[in-house]
Structure formats: C-alpha cells, structure tokens
Amino acid sequence: MKFGLRYASLGRYANGQAAIELAQAAAAAGFDSIWTVEHVVVPHAYQSRYPYSPTGRMGSGLEDFPIPDPLIWLAYIASATRAIKLGTGILILPQRNPVVTAKAVATLDHLAGGRRVLLGIGVGWLAEEFTSLGVPFDDRGPRTDEYVAAMRALWSQECATFKGRFVSFDQVFCRPLPADRRIPIIVGGDTRAAARRAGRLGDGYFPARGAPAELLDEMRRSAVESGRDPGEIEITVSAPPEPAEIEVLAKRGVTRVAVPVSSSAGLPAQVKTPDDVLRYGKNVIERWRD
C-alpha cells in the first residue's frame, strides 16, 4: 500500500515554511505523495450543492479560507523535497486553458526532477465559480475529456497537432516535455460519470470519499468497454480511520490511501502536525507500506 497526505495545502500549511515542514515530514515518514485541493474563487452565498456534505455546503469556514493555487504550492514544496510525488486532488480542469495547463504541469514535473507529478482532475461542481471565470458550466464533462486528450498530445508529440471542438492547435512545440512524455492523470469524483471517465481515460481513479464498491466496479466496466486493462488503473481512496481496514482495501484493488491533514474539507484530520505525520509513518506506514 502507498500512502498520500491529503488536503495538505489548507489551514496552517497555506503558509510557506509550514508547508515545507509538512512536506519534509511526509517524505521522512514514508508517504509516497502529497495532495492539494483547488478553488480559484468561492462566490459568496453560492446556490450550487456541494456533493460531499448532507448540508450541501462546503466545510465550516472553508468558503473564505485560503486555498493556494495547487501548482504554485506544489512547485514551492517540490524545491524543498527530492522524491515525494506531487498530487492535485483535484485540479478543476475545464476551468483552465489546457495548453497553458499542459505547459505549467510539464514545467513543474521537469523542475522537480521528473516523474513526480500526479495530475488529479475533476469537472467541478460550483457553477457560480465557472461563471466568475467566464467558463461554461454545462459542457464541463466533454470539455474535460477533450482537454485531457489535448494535453496528452502536447506532452507526447514532438511537434503537436490537435483538432477538437473546444481546443485546436497545429504543429506547435511545447517545451519542456515531461519525462517519458507523459503525466499520470488521476480522475477524481464520487459519481458514475467520474468512475466511467477514469476507466475510459484515466491512469488512476480517486473517489472523493471512501471506496464505494459500485463506483470501483463501474470504473472497471468502463475500462473493459474501452479496451483497457482495469488492473492498470491505480486506485486511491481516503485512508480509513482504523488502519486494520487497510488490508481489506488492498484486497479490493486499492493501491494508495490518502490521509487527511486538515478537517476543513469535511473529513476528520487523521494527522495535524509534522510530528503527527512522523508518528503515523512509524505506527502505520512501516507496517503497511508496499
């Protein structure tokens, strides 16, 4: 089992020195990855329903909470670490220009030493945020699929060409190229559409909450229907509160659990300080690590 540190960019860790101390503790403790979250803006008094809370609202106090840009935060902690993987959990892809995003992500991976970025993506749920950014909300699903294909073209082709409904470019160079000319894309979300998207085009799947068997099965069915091997799609889920449950998850095909470091996003924090992170490494990771 691999272990990630989740919600790592929130709370006290939105600040530079604290972020570095957390990332370095995570690396020392044996965490394989560290994961951010994203909202560019959170409109006041939004009416969209937050899908991960029975109240339909984000966690208490999170609406006006500092949420650093995930790629800039990861670049900052990358310079103070050597090997820990840099995950976005998630980047709201349809809100972003895919050409600019492909450039930024490849640059981050290149400067971090290569093979370190895990690009978690989602379609988003906050319609008012899309409106603030001047981006359509209703077509965010097909837009996401096409953006993934466009970014992969920029990362893999020597001189890239892509023709689509939402983005097109012809014979362009986009340097630096990432190592192996690819960045793993992990699809996040607790919906059937997200599970099917992960099976169809993802390198991984990261449900936002728990490990719903019906969604994991849906992801695997989608992979088979798309002519892919579902066993090659890495599954990341929330870390269970009881470490003994990790073995059960492993038997279900889960290969990474993500441990919350902040309760601001709705899950109870399992670790809160760098010292907690080091203790978790000693008490849990050393027992269960792959």
Q: What is the spatial distance between Cα 168 and Cα 289, in angstroms, rounded to a whole number?
A: 43
Torsion over CA: 164, 166, 171, 172 (sign): negative
Q: What is the pLDDT of residue 132?
A: 98
How buried is 139 (Cβ within 10 angstroms: 0-12 exposed, 13-18 middle, 19+ buried)? middle
Q: Residue 55: is its pLDDT beyond 90?
A: no
DSSP 174-201: -SSPPGGG---EEEE-SSHHHHHHHHHH
Beta-ladder partners of 3: 257
Rounded to an integer, the average pLDDT of 271-282 is: 98
Q: How many CB atoms lie within 10 A of CB 146?
A: 19
> Whole-structure pTM over 0.95, yes or no?
yes
Cβ distance 111 to 78 under 8 Å?
Answer: yes
Q: Look up residue 82 and give its amino acid.
A: R
Q: How many CB atoms lie within 10 A of CB 82?
A: 10
Gyration radius of the chain's alpha carbons: 18
Where residue 213 falls among pLDDT bands split at 50, 70, 90?
A: very high
Q: What is the spatial distance between Cα 78 and Cα 81, in angstroms, rounded to a whole number?
A: 5
Q: Residue 61: is its pLDDT beyond 70?
A: no
Beta-ladder partners of 260: 6
Long-range contacts of 267-272 (CB under 8 A, 24+ apart): 267/6, 267/7, 267/209, 267/238, 268/241, 269/7, 270/239, 270/241, 271/5
Where residue 265 falls among pLDDT bands split at 50, 70, 90?
A: confident
Residues 135-192: tens digit of each pLDDT: 999 999 999 999 999 999 999 999 999 999 999 999 999 999 999 999 999 999 999 9
